[in-house]
Amino acid sequence: MMWLSSAEIEALHLSLSIAARSVALSLPFAALLAWILTRRRFVGHTLLDAFVHLPLVLPPVMVGYLLLLLFGTRGPIGSWLERAFGIELIFTRNGAALATAVMSFPLMVRAMRISLETVDRGLEDAARTLGAGAIDRFATITLPLMLPGVLAGPLLHFPPPWASSAR
Average pLDDT over residues 71-86: 93
Q: Where are the domains of the chain?
A: 16-158
Q: How far apart are CA 167 and CA 160, in angstroms?
A: 15
Say if residue 163's pLDDT is above 60: no
Sign of the dihedral through C-alpha 67, 29, 94, 58 = negative
Say if residue 1's pLDDT is above 50: no
Say if residue 166's pLDDT is above 50: no
Q: How far apart are CA 155 and CA 41, in angstroms?
A: 29
What pLDDT score was predicted for residue 167?
Answer: 43
Give the CATH number of domain 16-158. Answer: 1.10.3720.10
Say if residue 35's pLDDT is above 60: yes
Say if residue 21's pLDDT is above 50: yes
pTM above 0.85, yes or no: no
Average pLDDT over residues 6-11: 86
pLDDT tens digits along 138-148: 899 999 999 99
What pLDDT score was predicted for residue 114?
Answer: 93
pLDDT tens digits along 84-131: 999 999 889 999 999 999 999 999 999 999 999 999 999 999 999 999
What pLDDT score was predicted for residue 12?
Answer: 84
**Residue 51 pLDDT grade (very low, low, confident, very high; cuts 50, 70, 90):** very high
Residue 164: other Cβ atoms inside 10 A: 19
